[in-house]
């Protein structure tokens, strides 16, 4: 039996399927060739004392390995990269400087790129018809565009964020997937090719298929 458990939602609405952050952890484990099992959560599970002791904010993913528990997708992916890479699969480079650059890009993805993308998604999915949303969206989309252009400028002439595919790419691609309902990524050639290159990896395809299969199996019955 796998000694690693990762939490995930049983189901989320279609606009969010394929981008819930357990995808990043699944992807890292698939790249590392490490077996794991999923612990699926219903909404009522998130606020239980037991789960809040595991993940203080009641979100997913949370990670457990032989009694060791961890939360936050970036921290979990880095933990996997540090200790679980199979031979020939290095999610963190051995070189100290390159390793530090990977960590920097993981943090940049979560801290510099993600917040405006989340805010834009909140408007598009929940407030598209609200007056304040219509007023706020153009400036916010411009801020996202500026961040994406900076990432694309760094990628010019590179296949990946650092020297080779790494934990940084897992986090960046997972975050960029929240823009799938827009053309903001596909309109930038270097960013589009980077996205396609990473998402073509077999480990990503396995992780995505597993997440989508979970949602399909637990989809609410259609109302007559």
Task: Answer yes or no: is pLDDT of 86 > 80.
Answer: no
4-89+203-217 CATH, one of 3.40.30.10, 2.60.40.420, 3.40.640.10, 3.40.50.720? 3.40.30.10
User: What's the predicted TM-score (pTM) here?
Assistant: 0.95
Q: Where in the chain are the domains?
A: 4-89+203-217, 96-201
Give 132-148 pLDDT, tens digit per residue.
999 999 999 999 999 99
CB atoms within 10 A of CB 159: 13
Q: How far, in Å, CA of 76 to CA of 78, rounded?
A: 5
Q: Which CATH class is domain 96-201?
A: mainly alpha
pLDDT band at 127 (very low <50, low <70, confident <90, very high): very high
Question: Based on the number of CB atoms within 10 Å of its own CB, is 35 exposed (0-12), middle (13-18) or buried (19 or more)?
Answer: exposed
């Amino acid at each position: 039996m796998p000694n690693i458990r990762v939490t995930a939602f049983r189901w989320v609405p279609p606009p969010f399927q394929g981008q819930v952050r357990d995808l990043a952890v699944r992807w890292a484990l698939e790249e590392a060739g490490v077996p794991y099992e999923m612990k699926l959560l219903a909404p009522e599970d998130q606020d239980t004392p037991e789960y809040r002791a595991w993940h203080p904010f009641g979100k997913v993913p949370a990670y457990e390995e032989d009694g060791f528990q961890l939360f936050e997708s970036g921290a979990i992916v880095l933990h996997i990269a540090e200790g679980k890479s199979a031979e020939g699969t290095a999610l963190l480079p051995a070189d100290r400087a390159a390793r530090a650059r990977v960590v920097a890009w993981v943090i940049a993805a979560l801290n510099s790129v993600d917040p405006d993308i989340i805010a834009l998604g909140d408007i598009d999915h929940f407030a598209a018809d609200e007056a304040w949303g219509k007023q706020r969206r153009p400036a916010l989309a411009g801020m996202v565009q500026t961040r994406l252009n900076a990432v694309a400028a760094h990628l010019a002439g590179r296949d990946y964020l650092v020297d080779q595919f790494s934990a940084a790419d897992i986090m960046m691609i997972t975050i960029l997937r929240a823009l799938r309902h827009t053309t903001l990524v596909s309109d930038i050639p270097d960013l589009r090719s980077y996205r396609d290159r990473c998402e073509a990896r077999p480990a990503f395809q396995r992780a995505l298929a597993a997440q989508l299969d979970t949602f399909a199996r637990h989809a609410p019955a259609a109302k007559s």
